[in-house]
Structure 1
Amino acid sequence: MWLTTFSNQNCELSRDDSGDLLLTFLDGDRYGVKKQLAKRMEQRKNAGLNRVSWWGGIGVQIEVKNQYQL
């Protein structure tokens, strides 16, 4: 699953408005795995569990876009 989710992916890394890292997958999510992962990360953020102390307390969020969709 790790290889499927993170290897050879077209993505962007940025910071969102809350200061969290935002990993945006640009090629969609045919099987829904990335969307489920994004949902889980959002749940962890809401519970206060999505923070990395050695990164200064910032979290990681995931977004899925399909750059080829019109």
Structure 2
Amino acid sequence: MKIKTKLTFNYINRKYAEIAYQSLYPDNEGFVESYVDDKKLVCIIENENISTVLNTVDDLIQCEKMIEMTSEII
């Protein structure tokens, strides 16, 4: 069985969504499908192992928090 989840991060404008995308992309290549949709960064995680999905979601959220703190794109 495949487990699929979608996280959407909302920003004040597309520029900040692009910054987050570019910052997260190198770490997520091959693991997370992500794209910018207007002012949103959308991340899709799919795997057969629930633990892998949960760990990836947690890691993604923590990395996004660091991007917000370091680039002030809250």
Which is richer in helix? 2
Tell me the TM-score normalised to structure 1 length.
0.35
The structure carrying a bigger strand percent of its residues is 2
With the length of structure 2 as denominator, give the TM-score of the two structures: 0.34
